[in-house]
Structure 1
């Protein structure tokens, strides 16, 4: 298996974390007789040699040894090695439904998005092309592995065979043959998935695979196989699906649930690795989850069908089916817009289940829905009032049902949040969560102030403890807390970790207090010459209204020697200043030509708020609309512009007809994507009503 491995100069090669000198040890670990060593080695291969799908020179050098391991009969866990080979060979090709990976429009993303992990190297297209060629050249191995004695290998091999074998007709014939002879249910499902992949990859020449899938959708095949065939058919030939798809799927799901057998796979102790963690959180019915995930993903924008399907799943007797439905709903809610009151209410019903796994799933989904979780608010409130968290333990912390209830703006969260604020320690997210309750959270302001007064001045966690409390106080505009804010401003050591971020947060809180923070004016004036001058100037304008004092500071921050973030913050502060900031107009007009989309957009918004002239603003907005992360800022300004924004209202109308959430993307999501999209839709409707 490892002939020639020591002849490779691994130390001269690289992976995600630098020198690849450790790769031989990882490769040998894949053949270890100990399960935890094999798992750790596979985790290391994904974590370093194939980090986030990248292909390095060490990845290429590993391919021959991975093939030798995959073809070594009797070696345990070879299924994972086959999957690794398929992933390496298919890097950059997108997922099984033909999606491709890549950056956002114009390569511009929202703040905080990170393109890779530690030591990420751009391995370039050449490495990917060579990896694909190398895996293709060894694809004959996959022909043998389709009939391997290990079911896990047979489960992994079919999709690799379809992707890389150079003779598609032979691959299709082998899949059809194996479907007739294969006895293991899991392997049969993998063969069906490979048929769908074949049809997607080969277009018109994939018609025989489509016909095969159609034949598998009806009796006498078992319900699981029929569900798999329907899911694959939805991904490659929607027109061949039965007209009564949803009732058919729900009936099959019920039948399958009644026949399902306990897993025969041995229970194994997983190592402390990412792969081990994923094994531990697998759904109770992983096969059922995969079947429904495939179908939901293939149906895509057909939200009415998907909602009906979810409602059918959520009516199933077994908790595993209902749990799968809850997790399926997460993908639907995050990616597509729709009328979700009924499925959300049904998810709320799951909070009354005795099954911990089901309750945890329901809370996890409701937590990221924010206002869309309102139909489940009564169930959330019951859970919160019982002081039983989603894991079944009594708790006075900010447990997830409480967070979900507060995020949907329900005032019943206030007493429980008060209890949290009186507790021995305040979870960091508490202050941020309070902001979603609006005026209903006013009784919490004195408690927030008390906890802010306890924050130490020079601790390593001063910022982490203070920032959420400041956010809550700012939202509630509780100016009685000014002395406590000033205590932190005056007493925080200059060498404190994140001191600049803390000062910025403190200044922002004073700005939110407005005239009620006049006591802070001398302190803010003293900050006008420091690194937080823009934040101090913005706060001083809000508190005292002295535009003449702050205008030179904000104008200076627009200079070319300043970074784009500072210029953007200054432009936003000038926009809040209004017509009195007219001396900034020439500089702001220059910034509308910036290479940074955020800076361009902020400058354009400020131009409107200061001069009320749409001519230089609307072209910037039309261009910025291409970036989904700036649409919220553009739309908020269009709300202020009223009829003056009419020339770009076509963008708003198009947005409102789009079924897809504006930040939906393949391969990831943000925790506030649903909230941001709902706010965008609200502002879009306001724009058209006012215009």
Structure 2
């Protein structure tokens, strides 16, 4: 088959990055005896021909050659080729089942893998256990005879020993039942038998419980979580010493692992949990470095908790960008074999927040370091997605802030920072952690070389600052004085308004760097300007005004607009900047002009000067911002009422919301009927408008009484709402909604 590659007109097809001419070379390289060559070709193929799960016509054309590689016993890495075939087939079959396949190759690939389903039967019985693990999912995906597929999976379960081989079989049975409803009854009965079999590994029994719930969510009862917790407790803990004889900073209990120095062998560990250990953390996507879209192997986990080596900053790459990629990499790591199962269980439980909280309490108290660590992100997901009293969960999270485990402590602190509006129960543990670190490592621990300790401290300080706690200040000052990760300190500085006298001079110094080199625009300038505006210390006004001038000189329109918005936050105390502001009102950039108009209004409040500027912007792409300033002007802007009424018929609900809000603020009760109709319709149409809508309804007083049922309905829903469903926006939405209902009885 490989020799027939040149018979295909690859140049007539395209992959993610252009013509598919490279495919023959990649396929030939996959057969190379040089492992590095084969791995590189596989990575390139994934990145272009199966990019982020996409399936193209050229992907379909590649399938016969991939099957030939998988069939050939001398192919060096057959398991990876089989894994690739399964991934292509999975994405193709699922897209054809649930979505229109379009002009890409989904439909063609689905046909090919189904026609070659017996190949996966052969691979699933291969002598190589890695090939078997990679192939078994195909039995649930590609065989359309439900009875035959279920029988094959049962046979594989009987033939395999060890959880690493058996876990994919349990998942494949669930895949089959979810794809072919006629297999559901057989699958659920099999899951029940497996879950109750005391001779089976606890992690496999847990998998059976979870997959049964996935396949039969209507049959979930109050015993599901206690059963799962009981099985989770039965998963053995293998105790080992860390490489330095003292563990890895996250405790010495390691789930299912005997890697490195220790008192048990790999075989002994496998006898306990059935999951072969890995030497390092791997991504949940199962990808080797540089392989962007390989499917997850649920058995590839990191039993030890250790901070990955921090990459060296690339020249010219902003630290914020580097940090974002590091966070993305961390979010994909799996530290326990039970993690995929527990995540699946949380997905099944969905809105059952009390049950999920009980499960998370068990996870966070687990003797398995990996289970505890991976529970942190799951806890964050519950708190950021669902409303309720999360005090107990926050307290348990805070208990994981221990100084001898900076890797996990950093994850906890980051989670607490992300839910700052509800994180009050964690205030004292955060403060204690920060102080202990400063005592142990010195006052400049924020900037210390150890990346693990530094990250833990920085995240805890940022979380504490978000709570407005002054105990975060010393470390923020270290950041701004040393320049080490100062951008992180800038993100939270505005939360410490009482310390403006110490923070503002330092923030201004940072801002002056931009003024000196505006052509080297720093993506942190917006955060600096926002922080200075929120802190409100008038000593910053001249520096911000100079930033406007420097930004205009270097044609940095977004920075100029942000600086003008910061000046508006000062109100009348921003008067020293009026000359600079007036000097940019005639620029051709709409964002700068509307920001200048807003600043003029906030500082001087002269409608006769500001109204003409704003009227000229009502047909620009910044019309929403212009309308908002008109609303702040109020009745003095009555001459724009006819234009605002016309905007109520716009096709975009956000335009209607901004116009309706301004119309109420300008026209008052006379505009109430149409304003109310527009606002309620927009809320029902797009829930992201809720914060804007409820803020206006709250100002409308008795005229907004008809909105009471919708507001009550909003408060009754368990899932977070508001703009982007963020915690801060949702908490504000709830607060204003409750106040609204109190006033309306």
Distance change (3 Å), C-alpha of 1:29 and 1:525 = same
Q: Is the 8 A contact 2:123 2:131 kept in 1?
A: yes
Q: Is 1:255 matched with 2:314? A: no
SS in structure 1 of the partner of residue 570 of structure 2 = helix
Match of 1:548 in 2: 608
State the alpha-carbon separation in 2 of the partners of residues 34 and 297 from structure 1.
42
Q: Is the 8 A contact 2:504 2:537 kept in 1?
A: yes
SS in structure 1 of the partner of residue 337 of structure 2 = helix
Match of 1:527 in 2: 584
What is the 5 A alignment of 1:294-313? 294-313=344-363
Q: Is 1:579 matched with 2:629? A: no
Distance change (3 Å), C-alpha of 1:285 and 1:101 = farther
SS in structure 2 of the partner of residue 617 of structure 1 = helix
Show CA shifts across 1:597-633 (max 9, x none). Answer: 3322212221122112222223332332232332222
Q: CA deviation at 1:326?
A: 1.7
SS in structure 2 of the partner of residue 208 of structure 1 = helix
Q: Is the 8 A contact 1:283 1:320 kept in 2?
A: no
> Larger relative CO (CA 8 A, sep 6+): 1 or 2?
1
State the alpha-carbon separation in 2 of the partners of residues 397 and 685 from structure 1.
37
Match of 1:233 in 2: 212
Match of 1:152 in 2: 130
State the alpha-carbon separation in 2 of the partners of residues 276 and 255 from structure 1.
32
Q: Is the 8 A contact 2:391 2:425 kept in 1?
A: yes
Show CA shifts across 1:239-289 (max 9, x none). Answer: 555643333322322221336343645748954554799987675743121
What is the 5 A alignment of 1:53-68? 53-68=53-68
Q: Is 1:423 matched with 2:402? A: no
Match of 1:445 in 2: 504
Match of 1:217 in 2: 195
From 467, 471, 491, give the equivalent of 1:412: 471
Q: Is the 8 A contact 1:457 1:488 kept in 2?
A: no
Q: CA deviation at 1:473?
A: 1.0
Match of 1:20 in 2: 20
Q: CA deviation at 1:86?
A: 3.4
Q: CA deviation at 1:442?
A: 5.9
Aligned length: 657
Show CA shifts across 1:517-564 (max 9, x none). Answer: 1122222222221122111011101101111111011111113xx23x
SS in structure 2 of the partner of residue 73 of structure 1 = coil
From 541, 544, 563, give the equivalent of 1:506: 563
Q: CA deviation at 1:126?
A: 5.6
SS in structure 2 of the partner of residue 21 of structure 1 = coil
Match of 2:91 in 1: 91
Q: CA deviation at 1:229?
A: 0.7
Q: CA deviation at 1:225?
A: 0.9
Q: CA deviation at 1:457?
A: 3.3
State the alpha-carbon separation in 1 of the partners of residues 80 and 702 from structure 2.
59
SS in structure 1 of the partner of residue 21 of structure 2 = coil
State the alpha-carbon separation in 1 of the partners of residues 53 and 648 from structure 2.
37
State the alpha-carbon separation in 2 of the partners of residues 373 and 36 from structure 1.
48
State the alpha-carbon separation in 1 of the partners of residues 509 and 214 from structure 2.
56
Match of 1:176 in 2: 154
State the alpha-carbon separation in 1 of the partners of residues 61 and 113 from structure 2.
12
Distance change (3 Å), C-alpha of 1:71 and 1:592 = farther
State the alpha-carbon separation in 1 of the partners of residues 77 and 699 from structure 2.
61
Match of 1:677 in 2: 730
Match of 1:615 in 2: 673
State the alpha-carbon separation in 2 of the partners of residues 318 and 595 from structure 1.
54
Q: Is the 8 A contact 2:634 2:666 kept in 1?
A: yes
Distance change (3 Å), C-alpha of 1:357 and 1:396 = closer
Residue ranges of structure 2 left out of the alignment (5+ in a row): 239-255, 259-274, 283-287, 301-307, 309-329, 439-444
Match of 1:134 in 2: 112
Distance change (3 Å), C-alpha of 1:25 and 1:377 = farther
Cα RMSD, aligned residues only:
3.1
State the alpha-carbon separation in 2 of the partners of residues 402 and 300 from structure 1.
32
SS in structure 2 of the partner of residue 91 of structure 1 = helix
Match of 2:381 in 1: 331
State the alpha-carbon separation in 2 of the partners of residues 56 and 126 from structure 1.
5
State the alpha-carbon separation in 2 of the partners of residues 334 and 215 from structure 1.
36
From 446, 466, 472, give the equivalent of 2:531: 472
Q: Is 1:687 matched with 2:737? A: no
Q: Is the 8 A contact 2:51 2:293 kept in 1?
A: no
Show CA shifts across 1:302-338 (max 9, x none). Answer: 1111111111122222322211222322332333223
State the alpha-carbon separation in 2 of the partners of residues 62 and 327 from structure 1.
38
Residue ranges of structure 1 left out of the alignment (5+ in a row): 103-122, 665-669
Q: CA deviation at 1:501?
A: 0.7
Q: Is 1:82 matched with 2:71? A: no
Match of 1:515 in 2: 572
What is the 5 A alignment of 1:649-688? 649-662=708-721, 673-688=726-741
State the alpha-carbon separation in 2 of the partners of residues 523 and 55 from structure 1.
54
Q: Is the 8 A contact 1:585 1:607 kept in 2?
A: yes
Distance change (3 Å), C-alpha of 1:442 and 1:599 = farther
Q: Is 1:321 matched with 2:357? A: no
State the alpha-carbon separation in 1 of the partners of residues 655 and 553 from structure 2.
29
Q: CA deviation at 1:451?
A: 3.1
SS in structure 1 of the partner of residue 515 of structure 2 = coil
Show CA shifts across 1:117-142 (max 9, x none). Answer: xxxxxx82563223322322222211
Show CA shifts across 1:322-381 (max 9, x none). Answer: 112223223323332232211221111111152344223323322322223332222222
Q: Is the 8 A contact 2:167 2:207 kept in 1?
A: yes
Q: Is the 8 A contact 2:512 2:543 kept in 1?
A: yes
Q: CA deviation at 1:574?
A: 1.1
Q: Is the 8 A contact 1:384 1:402 kept in 2?
A: yes
From 364, 382, 398, give the equivalent of 2:432: 382
From 648, 652, 665, give the equivalent of 1:592: 648
